[in-house]
């Protein structure tokens, strides 16, 4: 059975069971209270400017273009609507639609959430449908600017993960442990997204994700460890390169192995993270670290992390942060000597370009302030000093000659919820 058929079957069955009340435990719903329907919204209005004209600064890699020495509103501005239907004490249906700058330089609305949540007991929860990706702590709510301290989640840490949602299911169990709450969660689903890649598009539909996390919360402390694996369904849109390498293998056999090494279809990427948050009164501190590994040579493995601290003084919360990302260089030899023929030189050059496009080597120092000037409204200003090498290309868009890996970013945003 094809993956897409399996995915639709799982989602359809999940919604059907939820809407029918899941008959094997229907007696648990008989005493539920009356249902309720609510609508909420959120959004961010922003203006972002980077200092370098040689590379486009983006919030995350789902954006095709960014700020390159000019003010841009697209980087951080978005709007979302959410509907919550509490069908019963045990069953809820939730959907979320967001309009943001993404593929095709478009603001066309995207369905981020569309799931049924069933809570048979007070400490268990099962969700089926479209779910936000849950790689790291806070990753499934990173579009709601009002919910976090900074103008955006760390681009070094979150921005290189442009995957927004999966179609599938997750299950969570919570138990009391040593005066706190331990939550275990597992998820399985398939992607249905397309990402910009230079002037092309990379189809992620049918790519399978599975993983889980353990979260322990006690008092002001929350600690979480997570691990997820993504198995890609489709290759990068570089068929002319891989086909050319296989044709060149008639004279240079190693070129065929190079083409195979660049295959992404069927390869796996694994995302591991460990994070901790301390949130008590005016003090908020976050520390996270991640390791990402790919079985394909087309992507470089990387380490990333960030530390963020803020202290609230009345309506104002100044904050400082430091983040970094550094990839491990992967080498690939086509076996084709340089200088033999222009067409063969093009294959070597294109191979090096693919390898270098996933290179990251930079750190960011951030300083800013959040002003909660009214109910459900805030204003934020943030300055980011990004310092890296000229080879650090992965977190940016449209790099040009002269890019030295250094840029400063100034951002003003207003977040709201209603």
Prediction pTM value: 0.89
Q: Is residue 22 part of a domain?
A: no
**Is 95 within a domain?**
no
**Mean per-residue pLDDT over the chain, rounded:** 91
Query: Rounded to whole angstroms, how far apart are CA atoms 148 and 146?
Result: 6
Rounded to 10 degrees, the C-alpha dihedral 213/219/220/221 comes to -30
Domains: count for the chain: 1
In a domain, 33, yes or no: no
Tracing tokens 């179609």 back to the chain, one arrives at: 167
H/E stretch holding 361 reads strand 361-374
Within a domain: 167: yes
CA distance 263 to 245: 12
* Mean pLDDT on 57-86: 96
Q: For residue 254, what is the domain's CATH number?
A: 2.40.160
In this structure, how many other beta carbons lie within 10 angstroms of the beta carbon of residue 1?
Answer: 6
What's the residue count for the chain? 418
Mean pLDDT to the nearest integer, 216-220: 97
- pLDDT at 1 exceeding the cut of 70: no
229-258, pLDDT tens digit by residue? 999 999 999 999 999 999 999 999 999 999
Residue 141: band (very low, low, confident or very high) from pLDDT cuts 50, 70, 90: confident
pLDDT tens string 309-351: 999 999 999 999 999 999 998 999 999 999 989 999 999 999 9
Distance between CA atoms of residues 294 and 272, nearest Å = 12
Residue 124 lies in a domain: no
The CA distance from 234 to 265, in Å, is 4
Mean pLDDT of 358-383: 97
Residue 169 within a domain: yes
CB-CB contact of 3 with 204 (8 Å): no
Domain-embedded: residue 15: no
Query: Euclidean distance between the first and final Cα of the chain, in Å?
Result: 44
* Cβ atoms of 72 and 50 closer than 8 Å: no
Query: Does any domain span residue 102?
Result: no
Element (H, E) at 318: strand 316-328
181-197 as b/e, with b when 16 or more CB fall inside 10 Å?
A: eebebebbbbbbbbbbe
> Residue 417's closest CA among 38, 17, 8, 21?
38
Which whole number is the average pLDDT over 362-370? Answer: 98
CA 220 to chain centre: 26
Which domain, by its residues, includes 329? 44-76+133-417
The residue whose two tokens read 């019963």 is 88
Burial classification of residue 295, based on how many CB atoms lie within 10 Å of its CB (0-12 exposed, 13-18 middle, 19 or more buried): middle
For residue 88, which phi and psi values (nearest 5 degrees)?
A: -155, 180
| Residue corresponding to tokens 């050319």 | 244
d(CA 319, CA 380): 10
The owner of tokens 């309009």 is 99
């Amino acid at each position: 059975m094809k993956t897409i058929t399996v995915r639709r079957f799982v989602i359809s069955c999940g919604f059907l069971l939820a809407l029918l009340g899941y008959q094997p435990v229907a007696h648990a719903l008989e005493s539920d209270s009356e249902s309720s329907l609510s609508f909420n919204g959120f959004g961010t209005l922003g203006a972002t400017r980077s200092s370098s004209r040689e590379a486009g600064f983006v919030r995350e890699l789902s954006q095709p273009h960014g700020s390159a020495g000019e003010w841009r509103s697209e980087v951080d501005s978005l709007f979302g609507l959410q509907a919550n239907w509490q069908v019963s004490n045990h069953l809820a249906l939730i959907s979320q639609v967001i309009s943001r700058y993404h593929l095709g330089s478009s603001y066309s609305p995207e369905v981020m959430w569309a799931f049924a949540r069933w809570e048979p007991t007070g400490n268990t929860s099962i969700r089926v449908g479209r779910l936000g990706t849950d790689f790291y702590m806070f990753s499934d709510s990173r579009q709601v600017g009002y919910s976090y301290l900074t103008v955006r989640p760390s681009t070094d840490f979150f921005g290189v993960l442009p995957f927004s949602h999966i179609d599938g299911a997750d299950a969570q169990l919570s138990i009391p442990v040593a005066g706190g709450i331990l939550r275990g969660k597992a998820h399985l689903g398939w992607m249905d997204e397309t990402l910009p890649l230079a002037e092309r598009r990379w189809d992620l539909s049918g790519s399978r994700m599975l993983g889980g996390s353990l979260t322990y919360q006690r008092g002001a402390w929350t600690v979480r460890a997570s691990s997820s694996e993504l198995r890609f369904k489709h290759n990068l849109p570089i068929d002319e390169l891989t086909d050319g390498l296989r044709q060149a293998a008639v004279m240079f056999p190693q070129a065929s192995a190079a083409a195979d090494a660049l295959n992404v279809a069927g390869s796996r990427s694994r995302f591991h993270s460990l994070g901790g948050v301390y949130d008590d009164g005016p003090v908020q501190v976050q520390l996270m670290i991640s390791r990402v590994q790919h079985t394909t040579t087309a992507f470089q493995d990387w380490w990333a992390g960030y530390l963020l601290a803020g202290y609230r003084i009345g309506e104002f919360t100044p904050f400082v942060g430091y983040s970094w990302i550094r990839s491990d260089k992967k080498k690939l030899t086509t076996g084709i000597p340089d200088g033999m023929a222009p067409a063969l030189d093009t294959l070597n050059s294109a191979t090096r370009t693919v390898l270098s496009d996933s290179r990251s080597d930079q750190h960011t120092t951030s300083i800013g302030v959040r002003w909660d000037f009214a109910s459900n409204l805030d204003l934020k200003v943030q300055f980011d000093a990004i310092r890296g090498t000229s080879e650090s290309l992965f977190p940016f868009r449209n790099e040009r000659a002269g890019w030295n890996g250094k840029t400063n970013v100034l951002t003003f945003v207003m977040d709201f919820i209603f």
